[in-house]
Amino acid sequence: MIVDVLMPKMGESITEGTIVEWKKNAGDMIAKDETLLEISTDKVDSEIPCPTEGKVLELLFNKNDTVEVNTIIARIGTEDSDSLDSKTENNISEDKENSNEEILEDVKKEEVSIQEEVISDNKEISKIDRVFYSPLVKSIAKKEGISLDELSSIKGSGNGGRVNKSDILNYIDSKSNATQSTDVQPTAISTDYASSDQLKDSIEEMDRVRVKIAEHMVNSKNVSAHVYTTSEVDVTNIVNIRNSKKDAFLNKNNIKLTYTPIIVSACIKAIQEYPLMNASIDGTNIVHHQNINMGIAVALPDNNLIVPVIKASEEKNFLGLSRNIDSYAKKARSNSLAADDIFGSTFTVTNPGIFGGLFGMPIINQPNVGILSVGSIEKRPVVKETEYGDAVFVRHMLYLTLGYDHRLIDGAYGTKFLSRVKELLENYNEAEIII
């Protein structure tokens, strides 16, 4: 029996995965649940176990190929080796015959269609090499408006110089980048990296995570109409509460008492009063989410960023929030997050303040419509009214910056939400911190 291995769906919004590494080769024996390959989806690398015991008959994709979910990526034989080898040889022979027939038929069709191909200026192509292109390559070329003469100019990396999927996609990307560069920079700027030795520069390829982050950020800027509102919060009371309870909290719960769960709990309460901040946009529809799934941005040791998600955060008390935040942060830094741990956020909190940032203007984490940036806590002189008149006090002050999607959230609504978060923090009740 032959078992098909499919590209798994690793999360609610995941539609494809990239093959990082095959752990087995064709012909190898493999046990059930033994790792067959490693894949990458957005921000998480996952090891995929083999669903059955047997022999690896066929690996249908190569390393670094990006494959849609539920696509067959490998075939495993579950019968004895001799039987498998025999059947495999027969299948290969049949496949070769069928493939040759298909190629011959395609070549015949190509020869006919070549005479019918017309370039964009309505002139017939006068000279085209009789080169075979796979149906997939021709389909991509047709979709992107690439004529056969342009297709013939692409240098192929396949057998005999044949153009494969990666060749034409790389060509399209380079063509697009060149167009963008021309649009943005009216004056030609040299990008001759061959001279980097003279300039003492170095070139480093982005890792997979950084590539995904870059794509996610650019997509968010292209999709959402970003608007920002900033409030200054007096957190002196919170600082005093934390200082008085942090030792007992650590001894009792074995986790540090930080400002993050305090700020997150204030956001949860404010969202319950301003539920539109917990919505998302689907085309022209507004999706109102039942639960508040709080995303917490975590900086990684390799300078990348990941956003674990606390599902149904409104159902957790202060201690539960603290445990979840601490646990996800540790998992993120040890690269042990599950795929489901980073999907499904409805609102995001990021804290550049722990690195000394006074305030930030973060990019919205799609498909959220809001993100809160927490700055550093600084002592500053503040003028306050007293019964004796205005007086200057030294207070612990904090900047909060709310980024929101103006397609759905107007300035008044966003400002009211942020003002409510400010009010909750400045009037924080120490009884909420459970020791």
Q: Which residues are catalytic?
A: 406, 410
The answer to whether the beta carbons of residues 421 and 266 sit under 8 Å apart is: yes
Cα–Cα distance between 389 and 406 in angstroms, integer?
41
Cα–Cα distance between 87 and 363 in angstroms, integer?
55
Work out the number of other CB atoms within 10 angstroms of the CB of residue 306.
Answer: 24
- What are the phi and psi torsion angles at 103 (to 5°)? -65, -45
The answer to whether the beta carbons of residues 395 and 382 sit under 8 Å apart is: yes
Tokens of 299: 């900086």
Tokens of 291: 């639960």
| DSSP codes joined into one string, 235-273 | -HHHHHHHHHHHHHHHHHHSS---SHHHHHHHHHHHHHH
Nearby residues of 412 by Cβ (< 8 Å), 6 or more positions away? none
The bridge status of strand 66-68 relative to strand 370-374 is unpaired
Terminal CA-to-CA distance of the chain, rounded, Å? 58
The bridge status of strand 370-374 relative to strand 389-405 is antiparallel
DSSP annotation of 185 reads -
Region of residue 54 (phi > 0: left; psi between -120 and 50: alpha; otherwise: beta): left
Do you find a cis peptide bond into 261, omega within 30 degrees of 0? no
